[in-house]
């Protein structure tokens, strides 16, 4: 096991020390000060837009708004952190563990963060390690470590914690769920999800060049910040009405202007995936382009989601009416990014869905925005407990 924080510590001693630390009150001043130090550093990392987004989310006005909403919801109640939260970070989205960790800190918990063994000290982690020494009391309540596929280490930490947070693929979640938790511990699991974008054809056709460019800018950010590998990145594009070819022509120009480059391996995988999909009877047409590929579907079977490889691969599907979308939604579907629809229409769609699917519906451009409620679960609620005093 490699320990990033605290530095130069024996793990058994470090863990013992962490467990002896008292919990903070929710939204403790030192924790808020720490979030602001990180926010100021992150927003300056302009070459890493996903980190800038994290910094913006951590800005003081947003934290204070969360605090006000939390205090309003818990007014007159005695609310404490659950204890020690154990976060198992994913390998595909570097920033995601920071969101859940920050919310756990704000809830008053001690925290253990297990970073993927594929991750070395990157710039994001380096900033965190540089800021922690400035917050000595808070720093005593944090362990950041990494290790390989070691079930004994995961079991030890799982039996120590009071909340376990799993970010990872379906197989990762299944494997970790076999490892026992302490009897009083709860668990938040965030497995593989699939997301889509819906476009009102009539509204897209009415856009002038400037408005279309603004929409494409937002769409580009949703897709390419994490090379379409984030669970909320749109992979299926559903046209309500007829598809608009000019949308894709303009999108290709947008990508060229951005000078976005994919790894050669990603390009090869996208090309080979497109060829494999071409043989399926639910695929009408494959349109491979250098920067992205379109797979036109006449149906959306469940398993087509598992075949998606990211990197600018778009499934494309048409329905006549928005309400028709409910026929293809399954449990795995998480986020709908939309353009050209009003809230009552979207609410009607949600109420028509018979599966567990869809936890977020956001305008195109906000698919990757993190929120304190994720996959239908409130972090601050799950990270705290209420003490009844009669």
How large is the average pLDDT for residues 337-353?
A: 97
Bridge partners of residue 240, in order along the sequence: 200, 319
How confident is the model over 4-29, as pLDDT tens digits? 999 988 899 999 999 999 999 999 99
388 located within any domain: no
Rounded Cα distance between 378 and 242, Å, is 37
Can you give the CATH number for the domain in which 187 is found? 3.40.605.10
Residues of the chain with pLDDT > 90, as a percent, come to 85
**Pair 136, 266 in one domain:** no
**Pair 218, 169 in one domain:** no
Q: Taking a C-beta distance cutoff of 8 angstroms, is the pair 167, 231 a contact?
A: no
Q: Can you say whether residue 228 is alpha, beta or left, with left for phi > 0 and alpha for psi between -120 and 50 degrees?
A: left
pTM: 0.91
**Pair 228, 306 in one domain:** yes
How confident is the model over 92-135, as pLDDT tens digits? 667 888 999 999 999 999 999 999 876 666 889 999 999 999 99
Give the total number of structural domains in the chain. Answer: 2
382 located within any domain: no
The whole domain housing 228 covers 194-363
368 located within any domain: no
Can you give the CATH number for the domain in which 336 is found? 3.40.309.10
387 located within any domain: no
How confident is the model over 163-195, as pLDDT tens digits? 999 998 899 999 999 999 999 999 999 999 999
91 located within any domain: yes
- The CA radius of gyration of the chain, in Å to the nearest whole number, is 22
């Amino acid at each position: 096991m490699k320990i990033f924080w605290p530095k130069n510590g024996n793990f058994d001693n470090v863990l013992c020390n962490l467990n002896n630390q008292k919990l903070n009150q929710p939204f403790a001043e030192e924790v808020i000060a720490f979030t602001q130090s990180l926010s100021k550093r992150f927003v300056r990392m302009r070459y890493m837009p996903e980190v800038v987004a994290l910094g913006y989310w951590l800005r003081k006005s947003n934290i204070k708004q969360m605090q006000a909403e939390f205090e309003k919801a818990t007014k007159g109640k005695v609310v404490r952190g659950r204890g020690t939260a154990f976060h198992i970070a994913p390998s595909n989205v570097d920033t995601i563990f920071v969101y859940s960790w920050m919310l756990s800190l704000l809830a008053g918990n001690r925290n253990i963060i297990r970073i993927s063994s594929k991750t070395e000290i990157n710039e994001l982690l380096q900033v965190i390690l540089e800021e922690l020494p400035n917050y000595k009391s808070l720093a005593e309540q944090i362990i950041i470590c990494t290790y390989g596929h070691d079930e004994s280490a995961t079991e030890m930490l799982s039996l120590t914690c009071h909340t376990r947070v799993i970010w990872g693929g379906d197989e990762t979640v299944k494997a970790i769920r076999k490892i026992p938790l302490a009897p009083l511990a709860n668990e938040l699991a965030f497995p593989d999800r699939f997301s889509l974008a819906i476009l009102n054809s009539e509204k897209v056709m009415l856009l002038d060049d400037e408005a279309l460019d603004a929409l494409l800018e937002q769409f580009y950010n949703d897709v390419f910040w994490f090379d379409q590998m984030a669970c909320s990145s749109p992979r299926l594009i559903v046209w309500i009405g007829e598809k608009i070819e000019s949308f894709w022509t303009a999108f290709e120009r947008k990508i060229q202007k951005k000078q976005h480059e994919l790894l050669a391996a990603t390009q090869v995988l996208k090309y080979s995936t497109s060829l494999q999909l071409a043989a399926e009877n639910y695929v009408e047409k494959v349109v491979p382009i250098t920067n992205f590929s379109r797979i036109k579907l006449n149906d959306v079977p469940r398993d087509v989601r598992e075949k998606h490889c990211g990197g600018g691969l778009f499934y494309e599907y048409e329905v006549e009416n928005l309400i028709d979308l409910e026929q293809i939604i399954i449990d795995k579907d998480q986020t709908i990014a939309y353009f050209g629809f009003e809230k009552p229409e979207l609410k009607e769609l949600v109420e028509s869905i018979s599966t567990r699917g869809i936890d977020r519906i956001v305008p195109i451009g906000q698919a990757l925005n993190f929120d304190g409620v994720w996959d239908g679960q409130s972090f601050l609620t799950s990270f705290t407990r209420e003490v009844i005093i009669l």
